[in-house]
């Protein structure tokens, strides 16, 4: 493969919030041919980007057009649809292919016999799965709030919204561009790509077809393709010039690396040498936020940042962390307010800490909060 020019993402215009309301050196799996593009010093945007995590999932049931539309209105630079497949090969936006927690499928007696147990990424899982439904059947279901105990206000929207296809999400972005003149990016994540490959429903090709149909499979399109696995990103690096993001977790290993027995873990990927190898096929790394700012194991308070951001930048990668959420339960103890785990903490202080640590992007369930924090941080920089 010929070396490829680094794919740089331009931020959208900074706008005010409209509501008050992401290797081991000896690992053969990550060794890349000498012809891979070399790591280069990154050309990072002056404005850190805000990614609407599953839309504005702090305010609307996740992965609905209403959630994406609200994230755009709140000033998110990108929206994130997680992609899984239907039985007839259509990509839809769901956090998981098992949908009992995010739809009303359990209330549909006509689908009662589809409840089953499958092994997804090595974990036995019981419920209803998108790959057992045609798109027409999925369209009879309605979305529900995934975290009703944490976000009871969101349950008022249960039953309102369909499961959107990826094409419909892209249509929404185009519609918002026509309506407002603002170009909002899309950050699709391929969910369980090894599993879907194994049942003959590969995610990568239909995703690229949908992007091509929306005229977004261009080098300068505002698209970032994400995955927690490695090999499908390498495949995508051969198929497209769009920016790619290697997601990582604070524990465990990419499932494709487990299957192939390489021994590569997420800790390997975010090591100094691992990040240089990631940069041979990806443009971004998307760590879990505590991989950037850990918490004290005793007090739960935030500690000094790790070297991950500096190491990633030195390798030519940009860094987007996940996920900032307004609720206390998701924060280090020094950002919490009061003792109620569901009360709103100081997400502005949390976002500022990550911006001070040098990240290039932030995933947020409540995009308005993080857009406000980002804009205030930028004002202090000027």
CA distances in angstroms from 303 to 43, 332, 349, 360, listed in the order given: 28, 9, 14, 20
Name 113's Cβ contacts closer than 8 Å, sequence gap at least 6.
none
Beta-bridge partner residues of 364: 52, 324
Helix (H, G, I), strand (E, B) or coil at 130: helix
Pairing, β 185-186 against β 78-79: parallel
Model's pTM, two decimal places? 0.88
Torsion sign (Cα): 181, 7, 238, 280: negative
Predicted local distance difference test score (pLDDT) of residue 7: 37
* pLDDT value at residue 45: 53
Nearest to 372 by CA among 341, 354, 347, 353: 347
pLDDT in the model for residue 41: 33
Sign of CA dihedral 26, 32, 35, 39: negative
CATH topology of domain 28-96+162-381: TIM Barrel (3.20.20)
pLDDT of residue 73: 97
Where do the structural domains in the chain lie, given as residue ranges?
28-96+162-381
- Give pLDDT, residue 32: 36
Looking up tokens 């499908």 gives: 232
Q: What are the beta bridge partners of residue 185?
A: 78
Spans of the chain, pLDDT less than 50: 1-44
CA dihedral 272, 353, 58, 21 (to 10 degrees): -150
- Residue 179: CB atoms within 10 Å: 9
Tokens, residue 165: 């296809």
Three-point CA angle 339, 151, 327, nearest 5°: 40
Q: Which residues, listed in sequence order, are joined to residue 273 by a DSSP beta bridge?
A: none
Beta strands 284-286; 82-85: pairing state: unpaired
């Amino acid at each position: 493969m010929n070396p490829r020019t680094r794919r740089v993402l331009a931020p959208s215009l900074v706008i005010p919030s409209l509501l008050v309301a992401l290797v081991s050196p000896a690992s053969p799996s990550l060794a890349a041919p000498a012809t891979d593009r070399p790591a280069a010093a990154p050309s990072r945007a002056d404005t850190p980007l805000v990614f609407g995590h599953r839309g504005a999932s702090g305010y609307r049931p996740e992965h609905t057009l209403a959630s994406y539309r609200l994230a755009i209105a709140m000033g998110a630079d990108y929206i994130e649809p997680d992609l899984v497949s239907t039985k007839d090969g259509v990509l839809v936006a769901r956090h998981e292919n098992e949908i009992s927690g995010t739809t009303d499928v359990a209330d549909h007696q006509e689908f009662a016999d589809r409840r089953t147990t499958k092994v997804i990424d090595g974990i036995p899982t019981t419920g209803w799965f998108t790959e057992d439904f045609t798109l027409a059947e999925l369209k009879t279901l309605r979305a529900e709030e995934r975290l009703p105990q944490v976000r009871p206000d969101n349950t008022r929207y249960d039953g309102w919204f369909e499961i959107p296809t990826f094409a419909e999400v892209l249509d929404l972005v185009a519609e918002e561009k026509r309506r407002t003149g603002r170009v909002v990016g899309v950050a699709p994540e391929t969910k369980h790509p090894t599993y879907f490959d194994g049942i003959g429903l590969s995610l990568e090709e239909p995703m690229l077809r949908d992007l091509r149909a929306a005229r977004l499979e261009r080098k300068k399109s505002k698209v970032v393709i994400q995955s927690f696995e490695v090999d499908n990103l390498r495949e995508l690096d051969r198929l497209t010039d769009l920016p790619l993001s290697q997601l990582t977790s604070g524990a465990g290993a990419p499932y494709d690396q487990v299957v192939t027995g390489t021994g590569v873990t997420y800790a390997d990927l975010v090591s100094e040498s691992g990040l240089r190898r990631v940069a041979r096929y990806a443009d971004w790394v998307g760590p879990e936020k505590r991989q950037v700012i850990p918490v004290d194991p005793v007090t739960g308070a935030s500690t000094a940042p790790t070297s991950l951001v500096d190491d990633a930048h030195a390798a030519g990668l940009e860094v987007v962390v996940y996920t900032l959420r307004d609720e206390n339960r998701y924060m280090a103890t020094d950002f919490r307010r009061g003792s109620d785990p569901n009360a709103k903490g100081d997400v502005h202080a949390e976002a500022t800490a990550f911006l001070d640590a040098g990240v290039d992007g932030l995933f947020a369930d409540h995009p308005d909060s993080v857009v406000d924090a980002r804009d205030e941080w930028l004002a202090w920089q000027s």
